[in-house]
Amino acid sequence: KMSLTGKTLFITGASRGIGKAIALRAAQDGANVVIAAKTAEPHPKLPGTIFSAAEEIEAAGGIALPVIVDIRFEDQIKAAVDKAVETFGGIDILVNNASAINLTGTLETSPKRYDLMHSVNTRGTYMTTRECLPHLLKSSNPHVLNLSPPLSMNPKWFKNHVAYTMAKYGMSMCVLGMSEEFKGKVAFNALWPITAIATAAVQNKLGGDVMMNRSRNVDIMSDAAHLILTSDAKDNNNTGNFHIDEILLRRNGVTDFDQYLINPEFKNDLIIDFFLEDDTLDIVEELKHKL
C-alpha cells in the first residue's frame, strides 16, 4: 500500500477543521505539507492559525510550510505555489478544502456574501488548481482532491440556499471537467461526508452544540482522504469519483465507525449532510450487511 512519505501536499484552508485533519494524517506518513490559509493571527471564535497548524504537523512527523494565502487573489496563490516548489521541489497533491458557507435564500444573500462564496469556493478552487497543475503534471502520482458534494440536479438542494449550492457545485464541476481533461495524467476526485462533521463552521454557523453532538469527528474525512491520495493516480478508476466518506471506508474494510463519534449517546441520531440522495444511505445499509 502506498504512503505519503516524502510527498508534498498543498492544502487550502488547512489551519483548522477537515483541512488540518488531512494535513495531520499526511504528516504521520512523513509528508511535506503546505498550509495555504489566511489565518495568521488568532481569531476570537475560530481555533488555529497557519503557525499553530504547522507546529502540530511537525509534531505528527511531517514538514510544514505555513503560507498566508487568500485564494480570492491569484497573486497570493501564485506566490504560495512558488514558495512551495522552491521549498520542497514540487507539488504532488492539491487539496481544495477552503470554503465559505452562507445558507441563505435569494433575498437574504447580499452581493458581498454571494461574491465571497463564489470567489472562494468555485473560483478559488479553479485558480489554485490551475496554478498547481504544471507542477502536478511532473509528479509520479498526482492527485487533486476537492472537498465538495456529488452533483445532483434535485431542486431540493437549490431551493433554500441557491447561492451556496452553485458555489459548492462549481467545485464539483471542476472535478467533473478536469478529471476528463487530465485523464491518465492527474487524478481529480471529490470527497463529501455522509454526516455533519464537527468543525468550527458547524459550531458557529450551522447548529452549535446540538449539531456538534450529532456529528462525526474530522478523522473520518482524513482517513477517507488518505485512501484516495494513496491510490494510483494513473488508473482511470481512481479519477472522476465523487466519494462519500463512509462508503469509501466501508468498501476498504473499515467496520468501526464508533471511533468517529463526537458523542456516543447520539450514535443513532447523526445529522445527514446536504446534497445526498436517499440511495446513498441505501448503499451504506447494504455495505453494513455485506460485511
Dump pLDDT digits (tens) for 162-179: 999 999 999 999 999 999
260 is catalytic: no
Q: Is the pLDDT of residue 52 over 80?
A: yes
Q: Return phi, psi of residue 65, to 5°.
A: -130, 100
Taking the CB of residue 105, how many other CB atoms lie within 10 A of it? 11
Q: Give the residue carrying C-alpha cell 507542477.
A: 135
The percentage of residues in the chain with a pLDDT greater than 70, rounded to a whole number, is 99
Dump pLDDT digits (tens) for 244-268: 999 999 999 999 999 999 999 999 9
Q: Give the residue carrying C-alpha cell 498526482.
A: 142
Tell me the average pLDDT across 51-58: 98
Q: Rounded to two decimals, what is the model's pTM?
A: 0.97
Dump pLDDT digits (tens) for 205-246: 788 899 999 999 999 999 999 999 999 999 999 999 999 999
- Catalytic position from the list 114, 126, 164, 260: 164
Residue 160: what pLDDT?
97
Residue 291: what pLDDT?
63
The percentage of residues in the chain with a pLDDT greater than 90, rounded to a whole number, is 91
Query: Chain centroid to CA 219: how far?
Result: 12
C-alpha cell at 24: 495531520
Burial of 287 (0-12, 13-18, 19+ CB in 10 A): middle
Dump pLDDT digits (tens) for 122-152: 999 999 999 999 999 999 999 999 999 999 9
Could you tell me which residues are beta bridge partners of residue 145?
95, 189
C-alpha cell at 60: 505528527
